[in-house]
Copies of this chain bind each other. A is one copy, B any other.
Amino acid sequence: MLLCDIGNSFAHFCDGKRVWREEPDSFLEKYLDKKVYFINVNEDFKKSLIKAKNWIDLEKYTDFDTNYKGMGIDRKVLCIAVEDGVAVDAGSAITVDLMEKGVHKGGFIIPGFKRIEESYSLISKRLRFKLDFDIDLNNIPQNTKSAISYGAVKPVVLAIQDFAKNKKIYLTGGDGEKILPFLNNAEYDEKLIFKGMKKIIKEKLC
């Protein structure tokens, strides 16, 4: 079974074991004749997907219990994987959502770390540093580089921990692993979104 999560920059595939990334220009032709279960948030891509006759859009089969308005399908599927706990996708944006017994209770969005890093450099060239995720957030920073890494990471970590309270935190996305050491009761799962997709397939298509 081939699963595909199409984002704005890349498509991520999973064959059940391995996860890999494909460029948006080439992946459709490459897997056109395969049976692929997919979700897609890329508006520009919707038309191209019509010709993929063997591709199955899981958005049609997704029931999601929430009062929240304006949630993308990728965020919904991630929450479906979690069912009870806090789902955090740390990518170009950081989405943080609370699930209780399969019901979505709401969530929030923080700019992703690459964007935050870029923001500093746009404020002043003296603030242009690569974020250091090895920083000790219990020490008060004593130079600009530490002041920036602390200022980028600590607010995000505190907001997630405060939101989660004692619930388990499920991290995914490119930067999810980087903040794992700073959070209590958290785990990182690269395949989290694909778990949600499999659950939908199992409940609706098997």
Contact = CB atoms under 8 A, between A and B. Distances in A.
A144 B109 contact: yes
Nearest to A139: B106
A48 interface: no
A93 interface: yes
A68 B120 contact: no
A111 B123 contact: yes
B111 A119 contact: yes
A126 interface: yes
Contacts of A159: 151, 154-155, 158
Contacts of A126: 70
A85 B124 CA distance: 26
Contacts of A158: 155, 158-159, 162
Contacts of A110: 151-152, 155
Interface string A85-114: 000000011101010000001111111100
A164 B177 CA distance: 28
Number of copies: 2
B155 A124 contact: no
A11 interface: no
A34 B146 CA distance: 40
A26 interface: no
A147 interface: yes
Contacts of A163: 140
B98 A140 contact: yes
A116 interface: yes
A111 B107 contact: no
B93 A109 contact: no
21 contacts: A8-B124, A67-B142, A68-B142, A69-B143, A92-B123, A92-B124, A106-B140, A106-B142, A107-B141, A107-B147, A108-B140, A108-B148, A108-B151, A111-B116, A111-B151, A112-B123, A115-B122, A140-B163, A151-B159, A155-B156, A155-B159
Q: Rank and list the top 3 A-B pairs by shortest CB-CB distance, nearest first.
A: A155-B155, A106-B140, A111-B119
